[in-house]
Amino acid sequence: MSGQDWLDKDFYAVLGVSMDASAQEIKKAYRKKAKELHPDRHPGDKTAEERFKAVGEAYGVLHDEEQRKQYDAIRAMGAGGARFASGPGGASGAEGFEDMFSAMFGGGAGGTRVRFGGAGAQGQPNMEDIFSMFGGSQGFSGGQGFGGGASGFGGGGYGAPTAGQDLSARTRLSFREAALGTEIRLEVGGRTVTTRTPKGVRDGQKIRLRGKGQPSPNGGKPGDLILTIDVTPHPVYSLDGADLRITVPIRFDEAALGTTIEVPLLEGGHVRMRVPAGTPSGRVLRAKGKGITTSKRTGDLLVTLQVDVPSELDDATRAAVEQLREAQKDVDPRASLVADAAR
């Protein structure tokens, strides 16, 4: 970005903060604006997309301490229509420009003022030639910078490289892929991006892939890729943090008398679990360490038991159930319910 661009754009106004805003206030304002203007919230809205880009550009300058100093200095020089002169005896007010550069680059009060070659109309220096030094593309007086470099200051350019723009993308995973992690390939900005998703990602979760966004235009670090994950539900399993949940049906006799069941695992195989005698429908059994292993912890497998009631009975089963009813005719499982409801 050229110095003239910085002179023309009010990055503080773009973010809605004052010029003396703290780094934390700038960061907070950027996050709020970026969330409001994100392309996912305004599909096809070119105006919102341009404002989103402008917010990113403003934050890219103001959150970097050195770039912010340079930006403030350039804006200060441009404020109020500053006048410029190529040497002593120039137009009235010209010393303001030279004093500014003297203070920035070591002249100080009473010291040697910095002068610029390449005068334009009426003996004044060309603005683009002056500000080009901040991008490192051109030096002073025939291309010589301070310290004998070929461009900018000390040969390396005064302006720090800007980071590339962040990009956004969306992908859909199966429940198994989301829970166990998987490698995916995406086409982003004409490039193929390959990455591996972490274990246990949730539907709608956003993942930041560092350095997978837009390359920097001037040698800085690339932007990030913000990846939104859509997860297809599983017919059996659900995810609760790092814990896996599954509902397993059992027969009435298994619940009443107790049994051992085999519960399938998401990654394959099974785990054997003991059902105690007298287990009611809805009881949850826990298989430690059989959930999802994330960077924070390893979850458990939570098994909800559901007593299966047959919709049709053959003659033998019906006779057995009738015998049970006769044996339990004096048992009222709702007796306490009536008393509790009257409280």
State the Cα–Cα distance between residues 189 and 171, nearest whole angstrom: 15
CATH superfamily of 237-329: Urease metallochaperone UreE, N-terminal domain (2.60.260.20)
3-state secondary structure 51-82: HHHHHHHHHHHHCCHHHHHHHHHHHHHHCCCC
Higher pLDDT, 143 or 195: 195
Q: How confident is the model at residue 3, as a pLDDT? A: 54
Mean pLDDT along residues 263-275: 94
Mean pLDDT along residues 282-292: 95
pLDDT band at 1 (very low <50, low <70, confident <90, very high): low
Is pLDDT of 153 > 70?
Answer: no
pLDDT band at 282 (very low <50, low <70, confident <90, very high): very high
Q: Mean pLDDT in the chain?
A: 78
Mean pLDDT along residues 83-111: 44
153-162, 174-183, 234-243, 282-291: range with lowest mean pLDDT: 153-162
Percent share of the chain, pLDDT over 90: 36
Q: How confident is the model at residue 132, as a pLDDT? A: 44
Mean pLDDT along residues 12-35: 90
Task: Convert the pLDDT of each residue in 120-131 to its tens digit.
Answer: 444 444 444 444
Instruction: Name the residue ranges covered by the structural domains of the chain.
Output: 3-148, 167-232, 237-329
Task: Convert the pLDDT of each residue in 45-78 to its tens digit.
Answer: 888 888 888 888 888 889 888 889 888 888 887 6
Same fold, 3-148 and 167-232: no
State the Cα–Cα distance between residues 95 and 173, nearest whole angstrom: 64
Higher pLDDT, 122 or 293: 293
Q: How confident is the model at residue 255, as a pLDDT? A: 94
Q: How confident is the model at residue 78, as a pLDDT? A: 66
Report helix, strand or coil for 304: strand
CA dihedral 55, 60, 66, 69 (to 10 degrees): -10
Q: Within the chain, where are the H helices?
A: 3-8, 11-15, 23-37, 46-62, 65-78, 95-104, 127-131, 175-180, 252-257, 315-327, 335-341
Mean pLDDT along residues 293-308: 93
Distance of CA 85 to the CA centre of its chain: 48
Q: How confident is the model at residue 44, as a pLDDT? A: 82
Q: How confident is the model at residue 35, as a pLDDT? A: 85
CATH superfamily of 167-232: Urease metallochaperone UreE, N-terminal domain (2.60.260.20)
pLDDT band at 90 (very low <50, low <70, confident <90, very high): very low
Mean pLDDT along residues 202-215: 90
Mean pLDDT along residues 286-303: 93
Cβ partners under 8 Å of residue 146, min gap 6: 105, 140, 153, 154
Q: How confident is the model at residue 265, as a pLDDT? A: 95
Q: How confident is the model at residue 107, as a pLDDT? A: 43
pLDDT band at 79 (very low <50, low <70, confident <90, very high): low
Is pLDDT of 284 > 90?
Answer: yes
State the Cα–Cα distance between residues 146 and 225, nearest whole angstrom: 38
Output the CATH code of domain 3-148. 1.10.287.110
**CA torsion through residues 334, 335, 338, 343, sign:** negative
Q: How confident is the model at residue 120, as a pLDDT? A: 42
State the Cα–Cα distance between residues 265 and 301, nearest whole angstrom: 8
Percent share of the chain, pLDDT over 70: 75
